[in-house]
A and B are shown apart, each in its own frame.
Chain A
Amino acid sequence: MTLASPTFLSLCFAAIVLGRLFGELTARELALAFVNILALTVALTSWHAALVLGLLSLFVYGLGQIVMRAPQARGAAVTGTAIFALWATLFLLKDPGLLPAVNPFAGFPVAILGISYVTFRCISYLMEIVALPNANPIRFFNYIMFFPTLTAGPIDRWRNFSTTMREPVFDEVLPSLHRIANGFIKKFVLADNLASFGVPEVSRLNAGGEASTELLWLAGAFQLFLIYLDFSGYCDIVIGASRLMGIKVIENFNYPFKSRNIQEFWERWHISLSSLIRDYVFTPVTKQIFTKTRRIAQFPLVVTSYFFVMILIALWHGTSIGFLLFGIAQGAALAFYQLWRTYKTVLFGKSTDRSPVNRWIAVAATYLFVSLTLILWMSVDNSWSAYLRGMMGMS
């Protein structure tokens, strides 16, 4: 179900009309649930996938009820265990070849569209259920299965979704339509037409032939821009369509190409994922480090937590060695940036240079670093290693 397919557009139309037709909250929620179920019947390819997704939903909803009623300490323990179990299930589901001895999906692969996003919404639900209790299974179902965000996010927070369901905003019709049109131009006009850039070179490499080194570098440098067009275009369509339904979905990008360092980049890129990991993993971990460890151990531990968080983000996308290396590279860059930020004044004195040239160099370096490390995502048959060899003229 692509965003330009008649199915998706019809489902959006149905959700918009029904959402505006029913003013009363329960009726609106039931109508949205009906459209979400219709979308799931299209998106899920087998009854196994429906069964796993159904069991996962029941498990998380049930746990939410326990956490909501449990004393704080026990609730936190249940949430922690459940989140660990959800992560483990996600990894085992996404990669049936992972730990075959204990993986229940090893001989029984189940492909579920958007499972990474559904799992993260489940985690958000469990993390925020105490602050915003919920006894309404329909709202929970609509939250984790909201069809425009089902396949590729943004990963909305429970807090945000619950509020926007109760207080819908219907008055932004023209801006929403513009947002959808911008998304279509980015994704289906620009990204789709430019996507083949560099592909013949990579195919030649994979076939054991030679490829132009310059073109490979150019295609590598272009990679991030292409992904941006594709993903932010997708998000524009989803956010615009959701606004027409009265639902305000979280933004996913904030001018990422303005970033002057790697930390700023990850604060501006795929915000719904990076902010979730920051709030639920990085901040609690660093808080523990600063309150429970000796001063001398704090810096190395914080640097280690950067690696941990970036590897987590990378593995969330896929469990191959390429993703792992991508996570390590991003973690290393973040750690290096922290070292640089801490010691640059000590080493070079306080800088007063605010020239635009320096800013542009920083912006270009950040962009190029991320774009070139994205080559590691080409994980099918480890084709990234052939690509890197080709870039060095060693193919």
Chain B
Amino acid sequence: MPPKIRIAGSIFCLAAKMLIILLLMRGGFLPFLYQNF
């Protein structure tokens, strides 16, 4: 696999992980919605 594609894939995965964290961590977006609405 070309290095540029590998790096792009890695950054994409990292962004997905950060999204999961922001959505699901305690005090994150989804728990906030669940508690307030």
Contact = CB atoms under 8 A, between A and B. Distances in A.
Interface of A: 4, 174, 177-178, 181-182, 184-185, 188-189, 192-193
6 contacts: A174-B14, A188-B25, A188-B26, A192-B25, A192-B26, A193-B24
Interface residues on chain B, size class: 10 to 19
B35 to A, nearest CB: 13
A174 B25 contact: no
Nearest to A187: B25
Interface string B1-37: 0000001001101100110110011101001000000
A184 B7 contact: no
A10 B34 CA distance: 29
Given A178-B10, A181-B21, 11 more contacts: A4-B25, A174-B7, A174-B11, A174-B14, A177-B14, A178-B13, A181-B17, A181-B18, A185-B17, A188-B21, A189-B21
A185 B19 CA distance: 10
Contacts of B7: 174
A302 to B, nearest CB: 46
Nearest to A184: B21
Contacts of A182: 17
B20 A185 contact: yes
Contacts of A185: 17, 20-21
A121 to B, nearest CB: 30
Contacts of B28: 189
A177 B24 CA distance: 19
B14 to A, nearest CB: 6
